[in-house]
Structure formats: structure tokens, C-alpha cells
Structure 1
Amino acid sequence: MKRSIVALTVLLAFGATAAELQKRDNVFIENAANHAISIHDWDKAENSASTFPHAYKFTHSYKLNTSGVVPQEFKPVDLGLNKIVVSDIEGDINLETFLRERIKNHSLVVIKGDKILHEHYWNNMTPSSTHLDVSVTKSFTSLAAQKAVGAGKLDMDKKVIHYLPELKGTVWETATVQEVSDMRTSVIQPVSAHKSWDDRMTISQSYNSDTGVKDYPNGVSDYFPLVTEFKYSMGETYTYQCVNTEVLGKVVEKVTGENLADIIEVIFQDVGVENNAYLMADHAGGAMASGGLNAGTKDLARVGAMLLNDGKNYQGMQVISSAFIDSLFDGNELVRSAWTKSKEAALADGWYKDQFRLLNLDGHEILAMVGIHGQVVAMERSTGTVIAMNGGYPQTETPRMAISIFHKAIPAILKAAASK
């Protein structure tokens, strides 16, 4: 009990430890250039197999240290991945082949309660490798927001400008923090095919070099004033846009007085993870709230297990509010209605709430963190099963990827896990 009280005090303090800001790894970048991968194109799908396990080295980043709760160990039980089949254009295909060759999966961990049913690390990865998790990061930014809510520092129903008055005159002047968190702002940005962000935003974040330092000396915060228009009525439609998460991250930092990286570091520590993680940052030290996390695949699965355990780690310490997790599974009329007006509604019944998706897939209700190249943490509450995967699918935001992962691979894994 004494240990739990101390741990909760650390949680409320947010900044009990400090994530370490580090510069680009110029030696690594120079070596990548020798293999025809430059800082300007490291994130292109062509390079993903080589770069995604090392993505944080191409940018400024925060090192998230693991010192905290001892990681949970799991009892090995064989899922029999190579005996599972899914359908593809030539008929049934072995799931292992489907994952490796068709989805371009790099790693997969499946846990159920205290059992680990499967883990593999392909693409020269190991159990200690991190991997770019892209938009899985959004869910962690939401968890950080909920830490602020739990500490009485953040009211999600207040307007964004209550916390960030500098955003008056932008699209967020009329938006609540909750509408931002639910992606219900429908902001208008110049977005090219297969992207959910404005290239000016990534320039402001020094994602592909420091060419944006002159125009955006304060990083992504200097990009926000350029976003002044939205379509539909505020709060009406779910439109997936990365800039909303960046705003949410800045709200969290404002109300807590802490760097987003520090808060996420504490969440990882209180869950109990094995490997240091990294959160990419802009040149001004601003954490990339919408897509900068680099973490170990089994550690992502441990976070998923915590969420399925009503927000408690395996030792029983409350890490995230159980009421918040219930709200993700329950949804509400606002997010249900907003989903029906989105392009994702054609792929699955569900909703998007607080940077998580709730998806109904082949009889399974799945809470999911999702990244655009095949990075997923899928959680089935009814069975306590967590599927964590990282990958480098060669194109973003395509129906083919969504169908392959969510309508084929995940239901097949869950069906096989049901008897374990």
C-alpha cells in the first residue's frame, strides 16, 4: 500500500523524472546517405523497412527512460501463427506469409492475460528494438491529457482558447478540447494524397531537416496560426487530421507546466516497460504529439494490457482512470454520429473518441491505436487479448491496408487466441 501511495504521488507530480532531449544522430544520418536514404526522404515508404526501426535518429527527440515498475513477464503459450490462414486473391494463405509479405509486418506480439501467445521480430529487429509507431502516438497524447484531467488541471469541455488564448483567430477559437481530442473540428488544410497533415506542419517540426527554423522558430506552435478555416459545423463530423493532436499536446503542456515527453515517460514507467522509448521533437524542443513515438512492440502490448485491466498495471496500481477507459468503449451519440459522416465508416462500424478507435470487426469489439503504415495496438476487452504490431506498409491510408489488418489478420488472430 505504501508503494502505491508513493507511485500515485509520482503520477500527480508529472515531472518526477525528465525525458532527455537529444539532437539528430548525424553519424547515423551520414551512413544512411551512403545507402541512398537522405534526411529528406527517410520517411518515404520505399525506405520504411530500413528507417522505421531507427526513425528517431533522423530528428531531434526525447529519450524516455524506463526506470520504474519492473516489467511483467508472461507465460509462453503457442498461438500457432503458421497454422492460421486468411484469404487473399489466390485463395487461403498462411497468416505468417500474409503478415510478412503482403502487409510488410515487422513485429508482432500477442498477449492474453498473463500469457504471451506469440511474438516475432522480423526485418532485423529484436525484442529490444524500437520502431516508429506514427499515429499510435496520438493515443498516448490522449492518455497524457487524461492524466491532466485526473489531476484537476484540465476540463475537456472548455474551449481550447481558454488554455491557449494565442489561438484566437484560428479554427480552434470555437472548438472545445474534447472536439479536438475527438477529431471533430474538420479543419481545412492543404493536404496531399495519402496524408493527414499539411506539409508545412512537418516543416515546422523539422521532420526532414531544419529548413523550417527561419519561418517557424518556435516549432509547430508557429504553424497553428495558419489554420483558420473549417468545414461543416464544429463538432459535427469526424475528420482525421494530425494537427488536432498537436494542439491537444500543447494544451496538455500548458495546463501541467510539463513537457509532453515527461508525462508519457511516467506512463511508460508506471506500466512497467523493458526498453527506453523515444519521442521525436521539433528544433524548439516541442514533442511531436501526433506521430513521434518510437517504442518496443512488447512494451506497447503491456500498455494495452494496462488499458484492458481497467487502467491498472499488473501490480494493481492505477495508471489511467477506469472511467476514461469505459468512456472509450461506451462512446456517445456525438462520436457515433460524427463517425457515420467520415470516410472510415465504409470500412467498419464504430467511432473515434479521444484519439482511439472503437471498431466492430467480424463479431469482435476492438479498441485500437492505429498508425498509418501498419502500426496497431488492438485490444479486445471481453477476452483480455492484446495484439501489438509494427510494420512498414508501402502506402498510407488505403482500403487494402485497412482490410488486410482489421478484417483479416486481427480477427484471425483473435479467433485462434480464443481457445488459448
Structure 2
Amino acid sequence: MTLPPPFDWRAAGIGPGPDVPADRRVTRDNWRTWPFTRWAFQHARELVPSRALPRAERPVPLIARPIDTAALAIDDGEGRQLDFDGFLARSYADALIILHRGEMLVEHYANGMTPATPHMAFSITKSLVGLVAERLIAAGTLDPDLRAGDVVPELRPSGFAGATLRQLLDMTDGTAFDEDYANPDADVHRYSAAYWTPAAGHGGVLAALPALVGTDALPGQAFRYRTPVGDVVGWMLRRATGKALATLVAEQVWLPAGCGDEAYMLVDTAGMEIAGTGFNATARDLARLALWLMAPDQRALVERLLAGGDRALWSAAMPPRPATGSYRGFWWIDHGAVPALVANGVYGQRLWIVPNEALAVIAFGSHPIVSNRFTEPLYDGLFASLRAILPG
């Protein structure tokens, strides 16, 4: 597939408002389609209502130790080698930070983005919500065997009702839902109206979730990744604790990690924070989150995640990949020779953490294609190249 070249939204005149020519005007209807994504993913709260997170009073300092990126030779997954600039262009990166042993080796921005610019993280949002749930479970505040329909009676008509919190966090609840972004008739496009389209999404996800009544497996019998599961867990967390989701994310993750830049969660058409997507933050604050997760005092949490979910179920759902991965607590787990935690978001968002090597990559992007199948091989190549040139 031939893809359009990346461009800077400022030079192209992309933006909102009546004074912008119609073919370059960003609206609430087109903001998730190319080329409007180039502007929109850095300005989501100007289009969709949001709820801000508090900032740490003393943000964790980030220490820079730049390396020469000329040493990076990145396999693009198709047999070609890219230099670092070629990788950035092919991945449509808006921001990229590489951390190693507590220091920033690379901090790169493009497309008008700056260190202070929040960017859409998409499904990395789920991974933050997963951290909240895992910490509350570890503290004894939540029982992982709680069933969705018991915590949230409104979900009893849905396919989620009999699934436990643990099964939901590991995406093995069995509720039927088609998340094929390339299929215009897929469930995900109708469901997302509850996020973004006031006229069609009246009532938000709290109205949309009970209507998802189908199942394609018994709870605990199959792994399938689906965005509404994040919203089910978000609803359970609110109901079980009596707190807003933004408050829980701030208390359990954002403030403990020392994140100090602007961050916010988009809210759905009913005014509730979206748990399945919509978190916005700076690349530097995701770097602080990675440093926090790699710190010794979070080792128990990380080890529980790295233990992973059911590898056989993951392998059955992800052919032809080898059974070296799983899914746990809304994180993708790499069980390779050096285990890694991975949080992904569509359009090229990445948070890749290798605790045993004190190595992490944070990336924001605005790729023309929703699915990450175009960027995943590129990031695999970057990770392999980093491991080749950095000491373990």
C-alpha cells in the first residue's frame, strides 16, 4: 500500500474554525481521519469535552544523555534497513523518547509537537486503567473474582454480566464484539458513537454497554481484544470505589509516578471519562510513568503483570505468532528471552518497557492507518536495534 508522506500540520494549514478552508478544516466529524489527525491528536480537548488530571507538585526530573542515533539500523519488517530518520518518517512519529538506566537517550518531536504538548494515547488508556485495578486488587480493596453484573446491575442484560474482574482485565470475558477497524460495518464503529457523536451516542457508554448482549465463548475460555471491555472495568471501578475514574487514575498512578505536565481524559457523550481510549498526556509524563514502573518499589506490581495471562488462549487468538505472548491487566506481555510490558494505541502509539534492562520506548504518532499492523514491524525493528547497541 502506498501511504501519503508525513507533513507538519502548521505548514499545511490544518486546523479548526470557520476561517480555515473546508478541505483543511478539522471538525468533530473528521478529526480521526487523515489528514486531520495530524492536528487533532495534539488538540483533542478542543474538539471533545475532557476532564483534567492534577499535576504532581514535584514532577520527577528527567535526565538527558543523548546518544548518536546513527548507530541504529532498523529492520522495517520487509527486509529493508532504515536509519533513524527513515524510521521516524515511516512510523509517522510525532514524539519519541528512549529511556535507558534512568536517562533519556533520545527525545524527538515533530509535526508541531513539543515537550509540553499532550497527545492522544488511545488504548494506552486501558493500560492505565489496568494499573489502577491491579493496585486496588493488590491492596485488598477489590476482589478479582467480582462479577460485572454483581458490581454493576445495569450490566446484567449484557454479555459481560457473568465475567469476573480478572477475566475482563485479561480480555477473556467472552462477549461478542467485532473490532475490525478496516470493516466499516464492525461493531467498533457503532459503539464509538457513544464516545464521539452526541446525536448518535446519547447516553454514552453506560447506555451502549448493556446493549452488547452476544457472547462467542464462555468466560475464561477465549482471549479476544475488544475496547468496550475497558469501559466495563472503568464502570466497575467507579461503582466499587465511589470515585470518578480520573480521580482513581490520579491517585493510583499519575501522582505516584510524579507526572507533572498537562494531562486529561476525554469524556463520552454522557460526560463520563472514557476508560477504553481518550487519555492525553505528554511524552515526558509517559516517560515518568515508565520510570516509576521500573523502580524497585513497583517490582511486585510489575512481576504480577509479567507473569502474564493464559498463553494458550493468547496463542490460539493470535496465529501465526508463537506462544511467547499473553495479555494481563490490560497490558500486552512479551514472554521472550527478556520479558517486556507493552501498551499500544491505534495510529502508532507505543509504551514499551523492559524492566530487567531498564529500557523503555515512548512513542506518539499520527499514522494514516488506524490499525498498528503498519507500525508494529517498525517498532519491533527499533527495539531489536536498541538491544543490539545498548548494554544490557
Instruction: Give the TM-score taking structure 1 as reference length.
Output: 0.82
Q: CA deviation at 1:274?
A: 3.0
Structure 2 alignment gaps of length 5 or more: 1-14
Query: Which residue in the other structure is 1:411 paired with?
Result: 384
Secondary structure in 1 matching 2:41: helix
Conserved? CA contact 1:69–1:271, under 8 Å: no
Bigger shift: 261-270 or 343-352? 343-352
Separation in 2, partners of 1:403, 1:392: 16
Secondary structure in 2 matching 1:119: strand
User: 1:223 aligned to 2:208?
Assistant: yes
Q: CA deviation at 1:410?
A: 1.8
Alignment root-mean-square deviation, CA: 2.3
Conserved? CA contact 2:102–2:358, under 8 Å: no
Percent identity of the aligned residues? 21
1:198 is aligned, of 188, 191, 205, to 188
1:105 is aligned, of 93, 102, 126, to 93
1:350 is aligned, of 325, 337, 359, to 325
Secondary structure in 2 matching 1:288: coil
Q: CA deviation at 1:108?
A: 0.7
Conserved? CA contact 2:181–2:189, under 8 Å: no
User: 1:148 aligned to 2:122?
Assistant: no
Secondary structure in 1 matching 2:276: coil
Query: Which residue in the other structure is 1:254 paired with?
Result: 239
1:331 is aligned, of 278, 294, 308, to 308
Runs of 4+ in 1 over 6 A off after TM superposition: none
1:55 is aligned, of 25, 28, 44, to 44
Q: CA deviation at 1:394?
A: 1.8
Conserved? CA contact 2:177–2:188, under 8 Å: yes
2:227 is aligned, of 238, 242, 259, to 242
Separation in 1, partners of 2:34, 2:302: 33
Conserved? CA contact 1:271–1:303, under 8 Å: yes
Query: Which residue in the other structure is 1:319 paired with?
Result: none
User: 1:385 aligned to 2:359?
Assistant: yes
Change over 3 Å in CA distance of 1:93–1:255 after alignment to 2: same
- Say which structure is richer in helix: 1
Conserved? CA contact 1:311–1:325, under 8 Å: no
Change over 3 Å in CA distance of 1:59–1:133 after alignment to 2: same
Change over 3 Å in CA distance of 1:109–1:225 after alignment to 2: same
Query: Which residue in the other structure is 1:178 paired with?
Result: 166
Separation in 2, partners of 1:54, 1:347: 39
Conserved? CA contact 2:17–2:25, under 8 Å: no
Q: CA deviation at 1:150?
A: 4.2
Query: How many residues in Structure 1 have an aligned counterpart in Structure 2?
Result: 373
- Pairs within 5 Å for 1:17-166: 28=16, 34=22, 35-74=24-63, 76-88=64-76, 91-98=80-87, 100-166=88-154
Separation in 1, partners of 2:247, 2:19: 30
Spell out, residue by residue over 1:187-237, the C-alpha distance to the aligned partner (whole angstroms, 9 max, x if none).
2235454378622322122x1x42135xx33x2100012111111332122
Q: CA deviation at 1:288?
A: 0.7
Separation in 2, partners of 1:93, 1:110: 17
1:307 is aligned, of 293, 310, 321, to 293
Separation in 2, partners of 1:327, 1:306: 15
Instruction: Give the TM-score taking structure 2 as reference length.
Output: 0.88
Secondary structure in 1 matching 2:43: helix
Q: CA deviation at 1:29?
A: 5.4
Change over 3 Å in CA distance of 1:32–1:133 after alignment to 2: farther
